[in-house]
Amino acid sequence: MATLARLQARSSTVGNQYYFRNSVVDPFRKKENDAAVKIQSWFRGCQVRAYIRHLNRIVTIIQKWWRSFLGRKQYQLTVQ
């Protein structure tokens, strides 16, 4: 029973310490979160730009094949 009384007496102290420590750490936590968001957005931007470059290369290849197909078709019509 004495242990319970000691815990109840310390509970308000522990609660105050918890609140104080969190209030001290909150600005650092926000700064760290903002930095993480900035890094993540930069990385996602790099990924999207790389994907767009990839799509442009693929579209160029498709365009090249299609134009050569049309050119050969036009040539065959001209030869006949």
4-58 pLDDT tens trace: 777 777 777 777 777 777 777 788 889 999 999 999 999 999 999 999 999 999 9
Q: What pLDDT is recorded for position 24?
A: 78
Q: What pLDDT is recorded for position 2?
A: 67
**6 — phi, psi (to 5°)?**
-65, -40
Q: What pLDDT is recorded for position 39?
A: 98
Q: What pLDDT is recorded for position 44?
A: 98
Q: What pLDDT is recorded for position 1?
A: 66
CB within 8 A of 49, min separation 6: which ones? none
